[in-house]
């Protein structure tokens, strides 16, 4: 194994009196909006510039939802920022629910990215969004063989793009292939999009908590390592 970079990473699980029910896809959007408004002066929390225009870059602060509670993940300077936020007693309005953070469970690490001597296996905890609507229309008309090629091509492209967003240059040919997959309908900003659940293999060393694809700040494309060789 050849390590390319060790990137600061932090995650904070925000807990309140009891877990909230409801779709994770809706809850993540509510969480992102509430925290973005709470820290409006820092564009990393909401990905908009001072004029309200979207910032199109790999987000260094991302949001997730896990078993009724919110998770905020941070990379590079975003990781340090999360550790210095006064999370306790922070009031949040999540849809119709008003909660107050009673506990903030923090984890920190230097996450390894690298090139592996063998294939490593990963799972998408949340669906990856790889298809723009117009691209998915073309994909549906492809043969199964061409669809397989297209899925893997997009997977490689999204892995490389996300790593570049953390200033990581993969120094050899990156290989990645879905080992199993299932198409699923996802909602992003009230728009239906096709996502993929499943697992993949790659010669890239990736840390758990990494996210790839579109809308990673909204919780999509969350990757976890599998203990399989």
- How does residue 222 score in pLDDT terms, banded at 50, 70 and 90? very high
Q: What gap in Å lies between CA 10 and CA 160, rounded to an integer?
A: 21
Cα 191–Cα 21–Cα 128 angle in degrees, nearest 5: 40
Do 103 and 119 have their domain in common? no
pLDDT for 228 beyond 80:
no
Q: Mind listing the pLDDT tens digit for each residue in 121-130?
A: 999 999 999 9
Query: Among residues 109, 106, 111, which one has the least CA distance to residue 162?
Result: 111
Q: What gap in Å lies between CA 154 and CA 202, rounded to an integer?
A: 13
Domain span at 166: 115-226
Do 197 and 123 have their domain in common? yes
Do 105 and 130 have their domain in common? no
Do 96 and 129 have their domain in common? no
Do 123 and 179 have their domain in common? yes
The predicted model gives 147-170 an average pLDDT of 97
Contact 74/166 with Cβ under 8 angstroms?
A: no
Domain end position, chosen among 109, 133, 155:
109
Q: Mind listing the pLDDT tens digit for each residue in 184-213?
A: 999 888 788 999 999 999 999 999 999 999
pLDDT > 70 fraction of the chain, expressed in percent and rounded: 99
Q: Mind listing the pLDDT tens digit for each residue in 125-145?
A: 999 999 988 899 999 999 999
Query: Among residues 190, 36, 35, 40, which one has the least CA distance to residue 99?
Result: 35
Q: Mind listing the pLDDT tens digit for each residue in 101-110?
A: 999 999 999 9
| This prediction's pTM | 0.94
Do 99 and 8 have their domain in common? yes
Number of domains present in the structure of the chain = 2
Do 54 and 138 have their domain in common? no
Residue 187: its pLDDT value, please? 85
Query: Among residues 148, 165, 35, which one has the least CA distance to residue 101?
Result: 35
Do 151 and 188 have their domain in common? yes
Q: Which long-range contacts (CB under 8 A, 24 or more apart) does 38-46 make?
A: 38/90, 38/92, 39/85, 42/81, 44/77, 44/78, 44/81
Do 105 and 145 have their domain in common? no
Tokens representing residue 52 in the block: 């309200």
Do 101 and 157 have their domain in common? no
Domain end position, chosen among 54, 89, 109:
109
Domain end position, chosen among 54, 87, 109:
109
CATH number, domain with residue 141:
3.30.70.1900
Residue 52: its pLDDT value, please? 81
CATH number, domain with residue 52:
3.30.70
Residue 133: its pLDDT value, please? 85
Give the number of other CB atoms < 10 A from CB of residue 11: 20
Do 9 and 96 have their domain in common? yes
- How does residue 227 score in pLDDT terms, banded at 50, 70 and 90? confident
Contact 50/42 with Cβ under 8 angstroms?
A: no
């Amino acid at each position: 194994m050849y390590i390319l970079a060790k990137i600061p990473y932090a995650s904070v699980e925000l807990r309140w009196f009891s877990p909230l029910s409801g779709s994770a896809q809706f809850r993540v959007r509510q969480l992102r909006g509430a925290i973005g408004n709470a820290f409006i002066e820092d564009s990393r929390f909401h990905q908009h510039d001072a004029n309200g225009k979207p910032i199109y870059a790999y987000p260094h602060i991302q949001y997730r939802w896990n078993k009724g509670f919110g998770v905020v993940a941070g990379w590079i300077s975003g990781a340090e920022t999360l550790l210095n936020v006064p999370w306790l007693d922070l009031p949040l309005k999540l849809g119709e629910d008003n909660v107050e953070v009673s506990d903030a469970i923090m984890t920190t690490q230097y996450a390894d990215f690298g090139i592996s001597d063998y294939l490593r296996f990963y799972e998408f905890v949340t669906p990856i969004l790889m298809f723009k609507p117009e691209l998915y229309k073309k994909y549906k008309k492809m043969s199964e063989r061409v669809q397989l090629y297209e899925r893997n091509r997009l997977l490689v492209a999204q892995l490389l793009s996300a790593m570049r967003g953390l200033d990581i240059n993969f120094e050899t040919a990156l290989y990645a292939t879905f080992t199993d997959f299932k198409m699923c309908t996802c909602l992003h900003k009230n728009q239906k999009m096709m996502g993929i659940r499943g697992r993949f293999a790659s010669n890239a060393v990736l840390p758990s908590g990494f996210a790839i694809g579109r809308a990673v700040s909204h919780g999509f494309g969350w990757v976890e390592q599998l203990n399989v060789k």
